[in-house]
């Protein structure tokens, strides 16, 4: 547990807290809404937690230049609500967008269903005001795209609060597309649906979203929200195309043809906002509905090449069967971002450890298929020891050197991202090696 929890109202107060914590050698962990799924905002080694929920102002909306300046505690969906009157929106749309904060999205480089076409948070952040480990307020990036110098903004996005604390964010806004079409393709088998994913993109179509749900997910969804998904189907694909009206109609026809060729038994198409909302209702309510399948579930986050989806999904089902757990898959199929949800009862002795062991097996399946250990949930505490599966010791030392360049060492969010065999407060061997190379006073 932390020694103190602070809820500042502005960047100057954050700066003061960091300076005080530095004087007392107390680590600082920033926290937004606490919706993260890798333990990134949980303090491992006590210290001070800075909760940014009161820093929730939208400071500026420049519709002409399609940007907004917001504080880190602003709710993701509130940005779109604030600019929708200008025909604009903020593209990153994680499942928790009605509660998660922009600061947390920056820390994790959050994505969402529509990141396939529009990119993750890093593609929509132009600049950041940050507090350094010394307590200084510094601006990175700018309101105009592509400022000269190093892309330090891009370095901070996805750094999981280990380099600095973000106190303001300049976000890029997009114009609403002229036309949007949503399709629901229904398949008897998961294999058919997963083959269709690569085939659609192989046609040169990059949908705005391409989501998959399997039978277990649909069963939970139908009990919860009655979205009209067929309970006997093996899987469905939810595909959305947008752009100019003629373009979207052509793309929708192409998607339909591909799905039918690969065995889709039925396709439903939504052209109106009401029809599209009905098709999306089940996907948006899926995670909440999974509680109907078991008292607890463990959501995983891995990425594989699209062409490997059929084989990896078979491996996921086989692994879950061998451990004796049911799994519900609902995920961003278009970019191979898997989210197996393992159903279990944490009240059963030993069940939680067995689920964690199963999670490691599934993550290894992803890596062995040429993928990686996270697509949008971050590394955090949960997967820090998996980093050595994909990065060499030299790679990790370079990353540790980045922390040194910021002066961070273990000042901010210790125990996250980097492998460690001991307690959260341990300075890893990578950090020690990096300090030895540059000298302990290089960042002071």
Beta strands in 78-208 (DSSP E): 88-89, 125-131, 137-141, 165-172, 174-175, 179-187
Confidence at 213, pLDDT banded by 50, 70, 90: very high
Fold entry, domain 4-175? 3.30.465
Task: Give 428's pLDDT tier (boundaries 50, 70, 90).
Answer: low
Q: If you average pLDDT over every residue of the chain, what do you get?
A: 94
Mean pLDDT (whole number) for 240-263: 97
Taking alpha carbons only, the member of 350, 357, 290, 301 closest to residue 326 is 290
pLDDT at 186 over 80: yes
Positions of CATH 3.30.70.2740 in the chain = 294-384
Alpha-carbon distances of 36 from 23, 192, 306, 432, rounded to whole Å: 29, 32, 25, 29
Residues 6 or more apart in contact with residue 230 via CB below 8 angstroms: 186, 218, 236, 266
Residue span(s) of the chain under CATH 3.30.465.10 come to 4-175
Residue 265 CA to residue 237 CA, distance in Å, equals: 12
pLDDT digits (tens, 9 = 90+) for 140-170: 999 998 889 999 999 999 999 999 999 999 9
Task: Identify the CA nearest to 52 among candidates 39, 24, 71.
Answer: 71
pLDDT digits (tens, 9 = 90+) for 15-41: 999 999 999 999 999 999 999 999 999
In CATH terms, 294-384 corresponds, of 3.40.630.30, 3.30.70.2740, 3.30.70.100, 3.40.50.800, to 3.30.70.2740
Over residues 317-356, the pLDDT tens digits come to 999 999 999 999 999 999 999 999 999 999 999 999 999 9
Residue spans in the chain of domains classed CATH 3.30.70.3450: 179-288
Check residue 231 and give its pLDDT: 85
Lowest pLDDT segment from 273-287, 397-411, 422-436: 422-436
Q: Which CATH class is domain 179-288?
A: alpha beta
Element housing 79 (H / E): helix 76-83
> What is this structure's pTM?
0.93
């Amino acid at each position: 547990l932390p020694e103190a929890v602070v809820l500042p109202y502005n960047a100057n107060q954050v700066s003061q807290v960091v300076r005080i914590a530095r004087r007392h050698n107390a680590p600082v962990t920033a926290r937004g809404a606490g919706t993260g799924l890798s333990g990134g905002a949980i303090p491992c080694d006590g210290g001070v937690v800075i909760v940014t929920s009161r820093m929730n102002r939208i400071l500026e909306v420049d519709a002409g230049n399609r940007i907004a300046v917001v504080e880190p505690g602003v709710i993701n969906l509130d940005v779109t609500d604030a600019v929708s009157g200008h025909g604009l929106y903020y593209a990153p749309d994680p499942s928790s967008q009605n509660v998660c904060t922009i600061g947390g999205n920056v820390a994790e480089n959050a994505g969402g269903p529509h990141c396939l076409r529009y990119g993750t948070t890093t593609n929509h952040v132009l600049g950041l005001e940050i507090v350094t480990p010394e307590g200084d307020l510094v601006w990175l990036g700018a309101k105009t795209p592509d400022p000269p110098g190093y892309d330090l903004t891009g370095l901070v996005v996805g750094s999981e609060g280990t380099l600095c604390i973000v106190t303001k964010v300049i976000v890029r806004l997009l114009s609403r597309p002229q036309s949007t079409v949503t399709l629901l393709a229904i398949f008897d088998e998961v294999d058919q649906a997963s083959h269709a994913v690569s085939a659609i993109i192989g046609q040169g179509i990059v949908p705005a979203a391409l989501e998959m749900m399997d039978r277990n997910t649909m069963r939970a969804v139908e009990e919860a929200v009655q979205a009209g998904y067929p309970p006997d189907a093996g899987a469905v694909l939810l595909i959305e195309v947008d752009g100019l009206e003629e373009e979207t109609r052509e793309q929708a026809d192409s998607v339909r043809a591909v799905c039918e060729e690969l065995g889709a038994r039925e396709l439903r198409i939504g052209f109106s906002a009401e029809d599209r909302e009905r098709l999306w209702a089940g996907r948006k309510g899926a995670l909440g509905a999974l509680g109907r399948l078991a008292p607890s579930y463990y959501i995983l986050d891995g990425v594989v090449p699209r062409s490997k989806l059929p084989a990896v999904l078979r491996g996921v089902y086989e692994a879950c069967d061998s451990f004796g757990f049911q799994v519900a898959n609902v995920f961003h199929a278009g970019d191979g971002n898997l989210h197996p949800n393992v159903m279990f009862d944490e009240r059963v002795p030993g069940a939680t450890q067995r689920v964690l062991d199963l999670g490691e097996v599934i993550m290894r399946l992803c890596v062995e298929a040429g993928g990686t250990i996270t697509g949008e949930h971050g590394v955090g505490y949960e997967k820090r020891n998996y980093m050595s599966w994909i990065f060499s010791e030299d790679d990790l030392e370079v990353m540790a050197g980045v922390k040194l360049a910021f002066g961070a060492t273990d000042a901010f969010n210790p125990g996250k991202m980097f492998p460690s065999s001991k307690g959260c407060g341990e300075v890893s061997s990578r950090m020690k090696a990096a300090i030895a190379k540059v000298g302990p006073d290089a960042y002071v």
